[in-house]
Amino acid sequence: MDYRREYISDLFAKAPGTQVSAFGWVKTRRDSKGVTFVQLSDGSCFKDLQVVIDAGALPDDELKRLTTGASVRFGGEIVESPAAGQAVELKATEVEVFGDADPTNYPLQKKGATMEFLREIAHLRGRGNTFGAVWRVRARASYAIHKFFTERGFKNIHTPVITASDCEGAGSMFAVTTLLEQGHPDFPAKLRQTDFKEDFFGKPSYLTVSGQLEAETLALGLTNVYTFGPTFRAENSSTSRHLAEFWMVEPEMAFCSLEGDMNLAEEFLKVVIADIMEHCGPDIEFFNQRIEPELIKTLEHVVSSGFERMTYTEAIKHLEGSGESFEYPVSWGTDLQSEHERWLTEVKVGRPVILTDYPKDIKAFYMRMNDDNKTVRAMDVLAPRIGEIIGGSQREEREEVLERRIVEMGLPIEAYWWYLDLRRFGSVPHAGFGLGFERLLMYVTGMKNIRDVIPYHRTPGNAEF
């Protein structure tokens, strides 16, 4: 057996009469008047291959083993299908069963299983229609992102997963330590000591919340770069939009202002969504039918229309004048809640909105200060159904202003010596953003819970698999 073999997706293009082998897992099996029909899937495409087994064509002993979940190879001939729904099917003359799946306890045979139940068998759910489609879209989206940046001259860089600096200054980081391993009797008291000399890195270290600061260092040399990797946040929020481990796409551009950053974000979302729609047609069709009825219409609209741009201050005015009774009241200076973001995108504008120039107190230290000294050059892209999908900004390139912000926000200035060096030697206006990869996937699939667009979700209380 070689990996260089045809997938089921390739077999649909074969001319009737061609002899082929089809490898995969049995999705369903149906017996009717001596003929057995098997729907076979190998995950290569949405459609299953129909395998027809005429009476007596295969040994009874083997036929018995063809139950949902069993892994097999069928050999036979591609024939025109008389039934509606497929052009060709496979008339089997050979079968090889690799692994049986006992029908009395195979967990994935219940029809209409809930998403919650499927999460408990996350190791098997990819064999079903919904999750097969989600993982294929996830793979294509990842490829489309690398393609988008590579074609535009952005260099893919790898930023560290373990870091000693807090990028967002939000303090929601996971500590990385070996003191536990060393079996210190006074752990975690050891962790509380002010000097971490005995710990692996000799200083407090964490899982990164963002690769941005390091991406900035490479952008100030390579001009346009991007990093696409896992990021971690110890926010104790069990919402349908938050993960403790998620993937972030972060471009960073030297010689670029907030306008350039917004233009990139808009073009990026449009091109990536159009690519997925083009290459995952049957999967998106399925989501449209079964998960989110307006999906295709919304995605086509996003690709073809301009995103609305407004300042945070304007958005607050709209929200205050909306006449809606929000659970969280809004006023200038407060952070927007998901209900506000949804009202702006779904009710007020009806498409994605880019909000800019947020109050400095609700944004990170590195964002460029506006002349009003109250707002910063931040931008968030908000999408209907999802709320914030992208967060970005123009970065503060002026050494004194940046230093002042770090101190004002109570961050340890010594830790940022290298970040400040960028402003001391050849500083330039620069900007970038972070896209939450799983938020994008929720948007393009219509899946309602972020736990269902990542193979194994890490959330408060859950690190199974």
Looking at beta carbons only, is 78 or 390 nearer to ligand 4AD?
Answer: 390
Q: How far is the CB of 328 from ligand 4AD (least distance, A)?
A: 18
Residues making contact with Mg ion (CB under 5 A): 391
Residue 188: other Cβ atoms inside 10 A: 11
For residue 92, the surrounding DSSP H or E stretch is strand 88-99
Partner interacting with residue 387 (select from Mg ion, ligand 4AD, none; CB below 5-8 Å by kind): none
Q: How far is the CB of 259 from ligand 4AD (least distance, A)?
A: 16
Query: How far apart, in whole angstroms, are the C-alpha atoms of residue 67 and residue 26?
Result: 6
The residues, ordered by sequence, that sit 6+ positions from 313 with a Cβ below 8 Å of its Cβ are 332, 357, 375
Would you put residue 56 in left (φ > 0), alpha (ψ -120 to 50) or beta?
left
Q: Identify the three-state secondary structure at position 165.
A: coil
Helices (H), 96-249: 115-120, 129-151, 189-192, 212-222
Q: How far is the CB of 217 from ligand 4AD (least distance, A)?
A: 13
Query: How far apart, in whole angstroms, are the C-alpha atoms of residue 432 and residue 80?
Result: 53
The separation between CA 383 and the C-alpha centre of its own chain, rounded to angstroms, equals 15
List 165, 208, 212, 288, residue binding ligand 4AD (CB under 6 A): 212
Looking at beta carbons only, is 248 or 284 nearer to ligand 4AD?
Answer: 248
Partner interacting with residue 399 (select from Mg ion, ligand 4AD, none; CB below 5-8 Å by kind): none
Q: How far is the CB of 415 from ligand 4AD (least distance, A)?
A: 16
Q: How far is the CB of 102 from Mg ion (least distance, A)?
A: 48
Specify the amino acid at residue 314. E
The separation between CA 11 and the C-alpha centre of its own chain, rounded to angstroms, equals 30
Q: Identify the three-state secondary structure at position 350.
A: coil
User: Which x/- pattern, by CB under 6 A, does the window 229-268 give for ligand 4AD?
Assistant: ----x-x------xx--x-x-x------------------
Looking at beta carbons only, is 250 or 266 nearer to ligand 4AD?
Answer: 250
Partner interacting with residue 46 (select from ligand 4AD, Mg ion, none; CB below 5-8 Å by kind): none
Q: How far is the CB of 235 from ligand 4AD (least distance, A)?
A: 6
List 97, 434, 442, 453, residue binding ligand 4AD (CB under 6 A): 434
The residue whose two tokens read 């899946």 is: 447
**Are 76 and 11 contacting, i.e. CB atoms less than 8 angstroms apart?**
no
List 154, 419, 433, 443, residue binding ligand 4AD (CB under 6 A): 433
The residues, ordered by sequence, that sit 6+ positions from 361 with a Cβ below 8 Å of its Cβ are 333
Interface with ligand 4AD (CB under 6 A): 167-168, 210, 212, 233, 235, 242-243, 246, 248, 250, 388-392, 432-434, 436, 438-439
